[in-house]
Each structure stands twice: as C-alpha cells, then as structure tokens.
Amino acid sequence: MNEKENKQEIDQNLVRKGNLVQNQEKINDHIEEERREQVNFANQEIGEDVTQYGEFVSTYFAWVPPTKQKQRANELEEMTKPENKEEKTDKK
C-alpha cells in the first residue's frame, strides 16, 4: 500500500467512526426521551377512589374533577337535545 491509499483508508475509517458515533448519539437521545416520558407518566396524578376526607367516590375508575364532570354533563345534554321543535312538542 502506498502512502496515498493508506491516507484514504484512514480517512474512510474516520468517516465510518464519525457516522457510528452520530448513530449512537441518536439512539442515546431516543432512549433518554423514552425514559423522560416514562418518568412523566409515572409522576402523573393517579386517581383515587376516596376523597381526602375518606369519603368513597362512586365513579368506577377514579375521582373525576368537577370540570370534567361538567364537561361530560354538557356532552350528554347535547346528545339528548331534540333536533327540532316538532320533536319537543311531540314529547309534551
């Protein structure tokens, strides 16, 4: 091997090594992002079936805050509204 070929091979190896390092950094960033998401999920407030005063909450899964209760009530109200005035008069 002459000096020129040797230098080209060294340069190619350096490029490969740089690409490998960049790929590993991307993988590490992805792993770190997943770890952050898992920590955030674990730190989210988990619902309870009792209030801070020991009263049992009668929802199936967990306590539902008043804002969500109101939002759900509005959704149900919209679902049951008659489509037109004729339907209102027929029901009376």
Give me the pLDDT at residue 40, please: 73
Helix or strand run (H / E) with residue 30: helix 3-43
pTM greater than the 0.95 cutoff: no
Instruction: Work out the pLDDT band at 62, boundaries 50, 70, 90.
Output: low
Mean pLDDT of 15-28: 90
Span 35-61, pLDDT tens digits: 888 777 666 655 555 556 666 656 555
Q: In terms of pLDDT, which residue wins out, 32 or 49?
A: 32
